[in-house]
Structures are given as C-alpha cells and as structure tokens.
Amino acid sequence: MGSPVSPILAQYVMDDLLESCLNQLPFEIPFLKKYVDDIILTIPQGSTQTLLQVFNSYHPRLQFTIEEEDDNHSVPFLDTKVIRKDDNKLITSWYTKPGASGRFLHYESYHEQRQKVNLVLGMKNRVLKTSHTTLKNDNLHKLAKKFIDSGYPKKLVHGLLFSRSSLQNQPQINPNNSINNNNPLIKYFSLPHIKHLNSKFKNVFKKIQ
C-alpha cells in the first residue's frame, strides 16, 4: 500500500482473477464493469452464493463481499448509483455513501475565493456527468444544500450551480501564451495566500506585464 507500483499490480491481479473466475461460472455474465477491486455485474437471479464462492476461492487473502440491488432496483458503484428501470435499461445517479460527512472546504477557510468557486464548479461537473437527465436537477439541489451547510452564501451557490453560463466563465488557456524556446529560462515562485495582499500583488504584476 502506498507504493507507486500498487495500482499496476492491483490491475494485473484483478485481470487475472476475473479471467480465472469467469471461466468457472456455470452461467454467462452479460454486463460487467471494474474499477480496481470494485466490480459491478449482472447475474441470473438466485446465483449470488455461487458467484461469491467462486471469487473467494481464487486466493485466501482476497475475499469479496457482495451487495445486491435494493427494493428500488438500484445498487451503488463508486460515486454513482446504477438504477435498473422496468424495461431493464440502466441509468445512473450521483451517489454518496450514507456515512459520508458531506462537508466541503468551508467558505470561511483561509483560501482564495477562486479555489472555492472552482470547487463548486468541479462538483457540479461531477454531478452532471454521473446523473441521468431526469435526475440532474434533484442532485444539483442536494449538492447546493451541502455547500450551504458548509457556509457558502446561498446566492453564490445557486448562481454557480443553476446558471447555464457558470461553466463558460471558467478561465480558459490561451494558446498564444505558449513558451517560446528562444526565450531565457523563466522561474516561477509560489507565494502563500495572504488575505487582501495577494490581490494587490496581482495588480502590480499585471502592470509590469
């Protein structure tokens, strides 16, 4: 754990595990997705114990637990909840674990305003990408409540989450600002954030440019 090679080794082990275990199952698996050691799949009804027995027989130190879909035909996978509709189509929704604190970087913390705004916009992107169209609005309201509980002004949160132009206002990279190889070496320095002072530094540097 903690070694740079860990993700690579985990990938190799899980690939070998799946190849070995799937060939031992007496039924076909029409749907399977994997992220490191988290797996979501569909199996025939009543074959849960067979699946678990085969996977846990791969190695005594690799033991799995299983979670079946609930009464709403949904099951969590990473930060999404996969929902099976009546027509057997699958849709996804943004998901947080029941034990999650729901806390973000507090608005009164000693960080730049841009960092707090980017946090809200980043979480908005995450919710939109993991939520089906019919669930996006409800999930954005849940996200808004979490930020408001973390001290963010309600007006700011709603402006960022529910404004169509909020994502368009993010700073864009100017391709004309690429480094010219003929220029001398440029050195960069990082300054600690000092309230009311950093903005004055920025204005000074802008004038120099």
Q: Which residue has the higher pLDDT, 86 or 191?
A: 86
The residues, ordered by sequence, that sit 6+ positions from 207 with a Cβ below 8 Å of its Cβ are none
Q: Which residue has the higher pLDDT, 182 or 109?
A: 109
- Please check the confidence at residue 32 and state whether its pLDDT lies above 90: yes
What is the mean predicted confidence (pLDDT) over 65-94?
92
Sign of CA dihedral 174, 176, 179, 183: negative
Q: Which residue has the higher pLDDT, 125 or 164?
A: 125
Predicted model pTM: 0.69
pLDDT of residue 165: 56
Share of the chain above pLDDT 70, in %: 81
The type of residue at 43 is I
Please give the torsion angle defined by the CA atoms of residues 19, 130, 65 and 22, in that order, rounded to the nearest 10 degrees.
-20
- Please check the confidence at residue 131 and state whether its pLDDT lies above 90: yes
- Please check the confidence at residue 41 and state whether its pLDDT lies above 80: yes
d(CA 11, CA 26): 25
User: What stretches of the chain adopt beta strand conformation (E)?
Assistant: 32-35, 38-41, 74-77, 80-84, 90-94
- Please check the confidence at residue 194 and state whether its pLDDT lies above 80: no
What is the mean predicted confidence (pLDDT) over 9-16?
93
- Please check the confidence at residue 132 and state whether its pLDDT lies above 90: yes
pLDDT of residue 169: 45
Between the alpha carbon of residue 167 and those of residues 51, 130, 143, 155, 158, the distances in Å are 44, 17, 16, 16, 13
pLDDT of residue 200: 74
Share of the chain above pLDDT 90, in %: 61
Mean pLDDT of the chain: 85
d(CA 39, CA 116): 33
